[in-house]
Amino acid sequence: MRIKLVTILGLLACSCLVLPLAAQNTGSNVTGRKGVIAIDKVGNKIRFYDPVSLTEVATIDPPEKSVHELAISHDHKTAYVPLYGDGIYGANKTPNNKILIVDIEKRQISSVIELGEFIAPHGLLATRDGKLWVTCDIQNKLLYIDPATKKIEAVYDIPGKGAHFITLLPDESKLFASNKESAAQVFDTATRKFVAAIPAMKDAQGTGNGSGFEGMTPTPDGKRLLIVDNDQSNLHVIDIKTNKEIDRVPLLGAAMTNIKRTRLVKLMFSPDGRTLVASSYGAGQAWVIDGSDYRKQKLLAVAKGPQGIAFDPDGRTAIVSSHDSGLLTRVDLASGKPIRSYDGGDGIESIAFY
């Protein structure tokens, strides 16, 4: 019995070594049992929820406008929240230039990173070594920041127009930036150079909502990038080695949307990699997709303006936040059906369990 037990433990230890590294998206697919943090863009608040009941337990009022996205440190102790400005992409009349550092355990702002001349920070990612990657969409800049010193260590020009979201491979060897009005870009983090472009569906159409890409995520094994275009809301499967498209999958039943409004589709894998969830802001729809076959999709209607996606640590459900409706919807991943709703502030853009 003792030999069998030792053998089993050894096999478990070995299996742990081959599990894929967790990747973070802008919007954050961090998960945990301590609590839920949500970025309420409409209300300009950072909200905290009980992870079980999803009742609000604390609120932070930022000093300026306006919170948008979210990144969480890998030790789950710190959140980073950009102050984007008083508007949205293409209509941000008073862009801001700061990133809030939030102590998650104390539920308070601990410091502020001043970005100086770099304005409209939006997409951001926390790395394993404690640094931050940040996009500034008006200037199309990629910043590399040390939160410990609050210093910008490097600045890179992002080719294209409307750099909005970024994501990293699980091993952090490549970073991807989606442009609202042009091709997405591939950045090699070792050479610190943009090395390839992922062509957009069509030329920019003025508003940027009918061209380029937005939502994206790497597959858990780091072999593919999934990215959705702003034209037809198709899911493009990109081979990481070649940076080329190898498949294109329509989101089944996607409603037609207006080019004058954002066509943002967000994507996020469940922590076990078995399920992909997509939310379409313009369509008011969400999809629960088989992580091994993207054509196996379950379409569901959610409240107006879905954006944020967060996976409950039990692996059974996901929360979709509806930015335009102030609602949180719990979705059963097995059935692909909404099973409960909760108050979601004024309009939450990003949400995560921690």
Task: Tell me the per-residue pLDDT of 62-75, one tens digit each, with 9 for 90 and over.
Answer: 999 999 999 999 89
H/E run at residue 7: helix 2-17
Residue 261: pLDDT band with limits 50, 70, 90: confident
**Where in the chain are the domains?**
21-353
Rounded to whole angstroms, the Cα distance separating 227 from 238 reads 8
Rounded to whole angstroms, the Cα distance separating 133 from 200 reads 23
Q: Is the pLDDT of residue 205 over 60?
A: no
Q: Is the dihedral of CA 335, 340, 344, 347 positive or negative?
A: positive
Q: Is the pLDDT of residue 246 over 60?
A: yes
Output the six-digit token pair for 329. 């919807």
Question: What pLDDT is recorded for position 5?
Answer: 37
Residue 206: pLDDT band with limits 50, 70, 90: low
What is the average pLDDT value for the chain, to the nearest integer? 89
For 46-84, b/e burial (b = at least 16 CB within 10 A) is bbbbebeebebeeebebeebbbbbbbbbeebebbbbbbb
Residue 13: pLDDT band with limits 50, 70, 90: very low
Q: What is the pLDDT of residues 77-136, one digit of tens each?
A: 999 999 999 988 888 999 999 999 999 999 999 999 999 999 999 999 999 999 999 999
Residue 259: pLDDT band with limits 50, 70, 90: confident
Q: Is the pLDDT of residue 159 over 60?
A: yes
Q: Is the pLDDT of residue 202 over 70?
A: no
Query: What does DSSP say about strands 174-179 and 184-188: parallel, antiparallel, or unpaired?
Result: antiparallel
Residue 179: pLDDT band with limits 50, 70, 90: very high
Output the six-digit token pair for 303. 């409240």
Question: What pLDDT is recorded for position 30?
Answer: 75
Mean pLDDT of 21-38: 72
Q: Is the pLDDT of residue 315 over 50?
A: yes
Output the six-digit token pair for 324. 């335009």
Mean pLDDT of 173-189: 95
192: left (phi over 0), alpha (psi -120 to 50) or beta: left
Residue 208: pLDDT band with limits 50, 70, 90: low
Rounded to whole angstroms, the Cα distance separating 262 from 230 reads 8
Residue 256: pLDDT band with limits 50, 70, 90: confident
The CATH number fitting domain 21-353, selected from 3.30.2350.10, 3.40.30.10, 3.30.2320.50, 2.130.10.10: 2.130.10.10
Question: What pLDDT is recorded for position 54?
Answer: 96
Q: Is the pLDDT of residue 211 over 90?
A: no
Q: Is the pLDDT of residue 3 over 70?
A: no
Rounded to whole angstroms, the Cα distance separating 189 from 187 reads 6
Q: Is the pLDDT of residue 210 over 60?
A: yes
Our measurement of the distance from residue 20's CA atom to the centroid of its chain's CA atoms, rounded to an integer in Å, reads: 19
User: In 3-state terms, what secondary structure has residue 48?
Assistant: strand
Mean pLDDT of 17-38: 66
β-pair partners for 242: none
